[in-house]
Structure formats: structure tokens, C-alpha cells
Structure 1
Amino acid sequence: FTSLRISSLNRHVKTHSDDKRHVCHLCLKAFHTATLLHNHVNVHTGTRPYKCSDCDMAFVTSGELLRHRRYKHTLEKLFRCSVCKYSSVEASKMKRHIRSHTGERPYACYLCSYAGKDAYKLKRHMVTHSGEKPYECCVCQAKFTQSGTMKIHMLQKHGENVPKYQCAHCSTFITRKTDLGVHLRNLHSYMAEAIKCSYCEAAFHERYALIQHKTTHRNEKRFKCDQCSYACKQ
């Protein structure tokens, strides 16, 4: 973390401390700073002191107001990717985007080998272990652990009631146009820096091509015993 102001640095340093002396009198939750406590109490009381000058919206924190103005009014995207043309309103989204270039997956599941690029994907994955099924089909009330599985179900079982958008680059069908855009960005956009296969020397500028290539390694027995001829997949 770096900052132009010493006050911002001091406030940041407190986040690494266990000292939470600012306690909410309504729920006893404790915070590092008086500002965080003040914002928290506003949530209890419904107070929204930060008002947008361009519309009727109001917010609990100044950060929420700033984010709203950038998304809805100024359309500023201050954070730009140095590898591709992607730009973002928020630093957190840029950090998540950069991982699509580096392949970094810092959010690891403690129950299996899964690792995700962000906390949301890990949270979504953890549902597969808990057995929880929060997504319900609006047509037949079938329940699913993930929204993507539910969308596939609706296409296959209730396709006549669901709009279909087919990817022009692969055989994928998607129910929402916005999801098609996400699919195209994540899997079919050109990456200036090629991603190398983790099993061989092949490298690709498109993530979908890499995924397709990796299926060719699926039945390989890469782990070999140095004492005998035994080999296994994992």
C-alpha cells in the first residue's frame, strides 16, 4: 500500500492491528477507526449522508458515492490494463482482471484442489461442498448449486421459453446477452502475452484454445515412479 498522504497511511496501518477500540453501541461489533464505526452505525440507522449531485441517490459512505458517480455519471475508468485495452472504474476489478493474464489463482479451497481468481468464485465453489442449492428454476422449481448449472438446465429443459445467444467462436449457448459478453471477454479475447500450458511447452493467445488443448492431456499418466514402471494421472 502506498499513499500521498500520511493520514491515509496511518489509517491503513491500523487495518493490520488487532486493536479495535471503536465499538458499536447497537450490536457490539468493533472497528479499527472511528470513521469505520460511523459508517457502520449509519447502516443501522439508515442514514445516508453522502448525496449525489447529479441524481436523487444517497449513500452511507463517500466511497460508495464515488463509485456510483463513476459508474453512472462521469463514466471515468481510471484503472487501465498494461497488457490489453481493458479499463475499470475500481482497482479491485483491475486486480482481478490482471489475473486473467498472469493465471494467478490466490483463493484456494481448503477441501479440494480448486483455486479461484477472486473470493466470489471461491464462495460459489464452496457451495458444491456444502450441498446448498440456492438457485431455483422459475419454470419447474428444480434447485441447483450454481447459477450456471441452472442456466444450462433451463436451456436444455425449457429452451422454448428462454432466449438463446450462441457464441460465434464455440458451441456455447448462453441465456443472457450480458453473459455472452463476459464469455467472449474471458475465453475468446486476444491476449498479447501468450499463456503457457502447465503440462507441455504449448502456448496460446486465447484462453479457450488453451482449455481445448488441455483436454488432450486428460488421460496422460504424468506421475511416474522412479523405482518401477508404475504411472498415474494424479
Structure 2
Amino acid sequence: MKTHTGEKPHSCSVCLRAFAYGSDLAVHKRTHTGEKPYGCPRCEKRFPRKCTLDLHMRTHTGERPYSCSVCQKPFANKCYLRIHTRTHTGERPYSCSVCERAFALKSHLFQHMKTHTGEKPYSCPVCRRAFAFSGALRRHEGTHARVKPFSCSVCGKSFTLRCALRAHARQHTGERPYSCSTCQKGFADRSGLRQHERTHTGERPHSCSVCQGAFVNGTVLRQHMRIHTGERPYSCPECQKTFARKAYLRSHMKTHTGEKPYSCSVCRRTFAYKSVLTKHEATHGDRTRRPTERLSPDHSHRTL
């Protein structure tokens, strides 16, 4: 009867999420405790639910019994197929009760609601920093770990998480599987798409507690907060000068390396910064018709 009445008498003591049945609550609690009682006999990967293990086993068997009637793409389970068909139909059945924004997945709506409530139930055991999403916490925990076991086969860059390596690999392949439903712009990862969508909605869910400035994501807010705190966490190994952003440090390092990767298309003079090149090219007037050339590292020290 609870499916008809909507009654959810069982609540999580950590995040207060409510469930109709105690068994569902018991499974949910594993997202907080990290308990994964079901292990894969082939790869030793573990799961909080037996049904999730059963689905995982298809990654070993290659079984994909459900196919899309539009594009014939096969899927391992009926749920994935149902979600996929929404990319064809544009269906977004889950709507936010606060801002009426709609989502194709209930989990995306659940995540979105945290931008209104400010809820951050996941905290780092090392530095106690809190996060709204478990995935964000896992990525953050990698900043404390010294081991980076997942390496890119193309450029050798290493990562603490396999999912981070997968997202990075798309820089080499050019794959952009996540597309904006408004303008069709593609993105390599879901978080990039989420942030881009805010350029259409105008949503800026991250607010500064000092000046009330609003930002599209937590990273930009953290960078902004350094204006108030004076924090400069990035230091130059050569002269110990400190910077608020890693990009500023990278730019500063050129003063030590002498690197000048930007070349004028008219006189071949080279510059360390693109902005300086743009100002220089204005001195040539209409003659700067060819696109700006970026030199390879072997030629970036040469000027004429």
C-alpha cells in the first residue's frame, strides 16, 4: 500500500533521505558506510547490492540483451535502455519543485536539489571538507593520496581514479558523449555539461559568504574566496613567489624558462603570452591575416 499512499516512514540518520521500506534504507546506508558485501568472482570488485553485481557480471560476459529501437545501440539492462531512449525523445520526467528545471534521471534531480538545500553529507576523513556528492568526495580524496595507479597510454599522465583517466583520455580521442539539449554543444564529461547548462539557465548555485558573489561551480567560488582570505597555495620552485591560481603560476614560470610559444605571423617575433602577441600584431595593421602560430617547445626560445 505504501506505493499508493507515498508513505516513507524509514529515514536515514545521516542525510535524512526517507524510504518506504526498511530493506531499502539498509541498502542506502551502505552509501555512507562504504559497505559492499557482494564481490565479483572474476575481478574482485565489490558492490552494495546483489542486483548491481549481476549487472556488473555482464561486463565480463559481454551480454547486452536490450537494444534501442531507434539506433540499435545495445545495453546490458532495461534501465539503461530506458534512460538512453530519452536522448531520442527529449523526455525529462523529473522536475525540480523549486526552480522547475527538468531532468532525464531521478538521480540528477536528487543531486540538483542539493544546490537549493546546501546539503553536504559527504565529508573527507583527512581534512573534514564537506561535499554534496559522493563522487566529488572520491575525487577530492585523490588529492590526499600520493599513489596514482592509473596512467594514460598516450601522454603518461597519472590519475588516482580510473574514471578520471577515462575522462582525460577523451582529450586525446576527441570523444564528447555528453551534449547540451539546448544548443547541442558536446562535452567530454557530465560535470562539464552540467556547468555549461547553467549558461542557459543563469543558475549560479555557489555563493560567497563574504560579498554574496554567485558562481556556477565550487571551483570558481574557491578561487574567488582567495581574494578575501589572501591565500596563495601555488608557489614557484625557483623564486618562491606565490599565486592564488595554478594558471598564474604556469604563466609566471615562463619568466624563468624563457619559453615564448606565440609567434607573430608577419615578422616571426615570439612572445611568452598570447595577449602580448595580440597587442604586437596590432602594430602591423591589416597584414596580420594568418592565424596566430604556436611554436613547438624546440622553437619557443627563438626570437628574430
TM range (shorter): 0.5 to 0.7
| SS of equivalent to 2:187 | helix
Q: How far does residue 77 in structure 1 lie from its aligned partner after superposition?
A: 0.8
User: 1:127-146 residue pairs with structure 2 within 5 A?
Assistant: 127-133=142-148, 134=150, 136=152, 138=154, 141-143=156-158
Q: Which amino acid aligns with 1:97?
A: H
Equivalent-residue separation in structure 2 for 1:11 and 1:32 (angstroms): 18
Equivalent-residue separation in structure 2 for 1:144 and 1:32 (angstroms): 27
Q: 1:82 aligns to what? A: 97
CA contact (8 A) 1:101 1:195 kept: no
Q: 1:190 aligns to what? A: 202
Q: 1:47 aligns to what? A: 63
Q: 1:108 aligns to what? A: 123
Number of residue pairs matched by the alignment: 185
Equivalent-residue separation in structure 1 for 2:91 and 2:117 (angstroms): 25
- Structure with higher Rg: it is 2
Q: 2:3 aligns to what? A: 3
CA contact (8 A) 2:95 2:102 kept: yes
Question: Structure 1 length normalisation: TM-score?
Answer: 0.54
CA contact (8 A) 1:99 1:105 kept: yes
Q: 1:169 aligns to what? A: none
CA distance 1:50–1:96, change in 2 (3 Å): same
Task: Tell me if 1:99 matches 2:111.
Answer: no
1:118 corresponds, among 128, 133, 155, to 133
Equivalent-residue separation in structure 1 for 2:142 and 2:116 (angstroms): 27
User: 1:24-39 residue pairs with structure 2 within 5 A?
Assistant: 39=55
Sequence identity (%): 27
Equivalent-residue separation in structure 2 for 1:47 and 1:41 (angstroms): 9
Greater RCO (CA < 8 Å, at least 6 residues apart): 1
Task: Tell me if 1:203 matches 2:183.
Answer: no
Equivalent-residue separation in structure 1 for 2:126 and 2:21 (angstroms): 32
Q: Which amino acid aligns with 2:121?
A: P
Q: 2:74 aligns to what? A: 58
Question: Structure 2 length normalisation: TM-score?
Answer: 0.44
Equivalent-residue separation in structure 1 for 2:40 and 2:159 (angstroms): 40
CA contact (8 A) 1:50 1:59 kept: yes
